[in-house]
Chains A and B, each alone.
Chain A
Amino acid sequence: MDGRAIRVEKLTRRFGGFVAVNEVSFDVAQGEIFGFLGANGAGKSTTMRILCGLLPASSGSVHVAGVDVVHDPAAVRRSIGYMSQKFSLYLDLTVDENLKFFGGAYGLFGRDLRGRRERVEAQLGLAALGSRLVASLPGGIRQRVALACAILHSPSIVFLDEPTSGVDPESRRAFWRLIRKLADAGTTIFVTTHYLDEAEYCERLGLMSAGRLAALGTPIELREAFVPGRMLEIHGVGIDALRRSAAGLPLLSVEPFGAALHVRVDRDGPGADDLRRALAAAGVPAQVAETGVTLEDVFLTVERATIAGGGG
């Protein structure tokens, strides 16, 4: 399998006249954590559903775990685990009953199933909760039960569709520690998310925009490719006042960022001190500091480029 867990070439999916996924190509290496980003409706979930064999492709080729998914979608199921954003569990069954049922669905029974169940429950901190009804458990724990159901059969690839939506920050952090461990043990992780801070946990990212794969690379590569130069963060001044008072300085872009502004400048462009002096001279005292480029900056730049390029 040449070390590539997923190989996608020119994948296209149409719904009537609407092209949800447009000639998307990428590879994911074995044991990699691959993040799939994009706004709602950008084609993330559609792509993931095709990769899992839940939805046929219109054209292109898809290989997952060595299986040609386009021609034999059923064959891929044994090698993958899938966790949907709804944590699709039977709420009226206990944790153990859910695990037994999904284990059985993967052809695991008897002593083998019990061994795996106990191991996974211990691994995910569910050992004491086996006899609890899923309906009585909070979202963070349901999320771990859903993950347990998806990895019981030791899949080589795990697909996670927005696995942390609706879960508190503490649980999100704990969840990512588990994902990290899985990947360290050799499992390939394919995860969609729209939390950009979470994207930082991924080794490589694909960024979907309007059905196209608009960017692909490590978080560092994406920053350098799409947001070159340095980033200054400014507090205490509005966007119009900034443009007026710093009119003489070469600013590449100005974006609102929370309560602050993010100003992108060239590598040898003005520094934080230059900008602060210019603002003070114009009678606008503000705090200016050098900051790192975030993935949100990348995301905004890519989205903007897509819209400007008419790639809607």
Chain B
Amino acid sequence: MLRSLFNVMTKEAIQTLRDRRMTFILMIAPLLQLSLFGYAVNFDVDHLPTVVCDQDATPKSQELLQGFFANAIFTRAADVLDPAAAQRALESGAAEVAVIVPHGFTREAGREAGPEVQVIVDGTDTTRAQVAQADAREFLVEHGLSAATAAIGPPLVLEPRILYNPRLSSPVYMVPGILGMLLMQATAFLTAMGLAREKEAGTLEQVLVTPIRPSVLLAGKTLPFVFVGLFDIVGVILLGSLLFAVPVRGSLALLGLGGFLYVFSTLGFGILLGTLASSQQQAILAAFAFILPASLLSGFLSPIASMPAWLRPLTFLNPMRHFLEIVRGTLLKGEGFADLYRQFVALLVIGVAVLLLSIARFRKHLA
């Protein structure tokens, strides 16, 4: 039994290692993609080109503007005299933000109505616009209040503190998601492909006339990919902490266990897709049709809390969701098993269910 399993695993390993492209997809591509994703998918907003229309032109207004450009979020791109020119700069795309300081800003400073400094933000890219708007408001409120509060008494200062990812760095937020996605790609995708290829070549039928048991065959075909998955986890975390300073606050062993359970369910999905597809092309299409929604419904890019209520329960069936919570929990928050046991149980249940289903489906498929 064990020798039989080892026999299938050896064959699978030889085939995988001999195929340079396959080795690349399994071992190198995840690390390359991580670097690419880490640098390219970046929600950090800075250096927004900003056009300035300082109609007041007093030392006080200049001081205000200097303060506005002090952090690197806004970059002073141009100075104009006419507010209409600032509008045109926005429309032409020369600037994404316009700051207009009106006549009499200095004169009216300190009065109850307060001076009206206008900030216009190009809303084409909602993410950038929101960040720019929030930053500008924060800055102006700070300056507007500092003058007014003196009269009213102790100021109510809102001081946000961001936990776990204090610099709000995108890679720190992204790396767990990328890990979940890459693991699913490397395992589900290749299992589905491998099964479809054996079907196409007729080797599956040739193996099925031997006395080997279907469960041993499936286990032997998938177990090597479990090791590949664990290798990818180590690689991604190592690269993540080296390149993007992703912290490792919790137990790596716990994360490894999570990855192990996660990979079981993704392999099960791979087998399932492989039994459904009758050619490698179909397997590729099916895998894409599966991986994309799984990624979207995992909380990888947009938080599950902001999905519509009817969609949220669906995400509980998604192994990627649970794995993501485990990765974020262990890496960023340093959570232990007591905090994450629900996710582990969920992964275990999904993994066992999918594997059993895929084996049943495989058996039936053969008959």
Question: How many residue pairs, one in A and one in B, have C-beta atoms under 8 Å apart?
Answer: 68
Contact B7 A104 (CB under 8 A): yes
* A-facing residues in B202-261 (Cβ within 8 Å): 202-203, 205-212
Q: Is A299 an interface residue (CB 8 A)?
A: no
Contact B202 A86 (CB under 8 A): yes
Q: Is B314 an interface residue (CB 8 A)?
A: no
* A-facing residues in B1-34 (Cβ within 8 Å): 3-4, 7-8, 10-11, 14-15, 18-19
Task: Using C-beta atoms within 8 Å of the partner chain, give the interface range for chain B.
Answer: 20 to 34
* A-facing residues in B116-166 (Cβ within 8 Å): none
Q: Is A206 an interface residue (CB 8 A)?
A: no
Interface size of A in residues (CB-CB distance below 8 Å): 28
Given known contacts A92-B15, A92-B18, is B206 in contact with A84 (CB within 8 Å)? yes
Q: Is B40 an interface residue (CB 8 A)?
A: no
Our pick among B4, B19, B203, B211 for the contact of A88 (Cβ within 8 Å) is B203
Contact B202 A97 (CB under 8 A): no
Contact B206 A82 (CB under 8 A): yes
Kindly name the residue among B19, B203, B212 whose own CB sees the greatest number of chain A CB atoms within 10 A: B203
- Measured CB to CB, the closest approach of chain A to B211, in angstroms, equals 4
Q: Is A52 an interface residue (CB 8 A)?
A: yes
Contact B210 A88 (CB under 8 A): no
Q: Is A258 an interface residue (CB 8 A)?
A: no
Residues from chain B with a CB closer than 8 A to the CB of A106 are: 210-211
Residues from chain B with a CB closer than 8 A to the CB of A282 are: none
Q: Is A138 an interface residue (CB 8 A)?
A: no
Our pick among B4, B208, B209, B367 for the contact of A104 (Cβ within 8 Å) is B4
Contact B201 A91 (CB under 8 A): yes
A93 to B211: give the CA distance in the assembly, Å. Answer: 21
Contact B206 A92 (CB under 8 A): no
Contact B209 A93 (CB under 8 A): no
Residues from chain A with a CB closer than 8 A to the CB of B201 are: 86, 88, 90-91
A52 to B207: give the CA distance in the assembly, Å. Answer: 12
Contact B11 A101 (CB under 8 A): yes
Residues from chain A with a CB closer than 8 A to the CB of B8 are: 101, 104-105
Contact A93 B210 (CB under 8 A): no
A52 to B7: give the CA distance in the assembly, Å. Answer: 23
Say which one of A23-31, A72-80, A162-170, A269-277 lies at the interface with B.
Answer: A72-80
Our pick among A74, A88, A101, A102 for the contact of B202 (Cβ within 8 Å) is A88
- Measured CB to CB, the closest approach of chain B to A65, in angstroms, equals 13
- Measured CB to CB, the closest approach of chain A to B49, in angstroms, equals 54
Contact A54 B208 (CB under 8 A): yes
Residues from chain B with a CB closer than 8 A to the CB of A90 are: 11, 15, 201, 203
Listed in ascending order, the chain A residues whose CB lies under 8 Å from chain B are 52-56, 74, 77-78, 80, 82, 84, 86, 88-93, 97, 100-102, 104-107, 109, 149
List 15 A-B pairs, Cβ < 8 Å: A56-B367, A78-B211, A82-B206, A84-B206, A88-B202, A88-B206, A90-B11, A90-B203, A91-B201, A101-B7, A102-B210, A105-B8, A106-B210, A109-B3, A149-B206
List 16 additional A-B contacts (Cβ < 8 Å) besides A54-B366, A88-B201, A105-B4. A52-B209, A54-B205, A54-B209, A80-B209, A84-B205, A88-B202, A88-B203, A89-B203, A90-B11, A92-B18, A102-B207, A105-B8, A105-B207, A105-B210, A105-B212, A106-B211
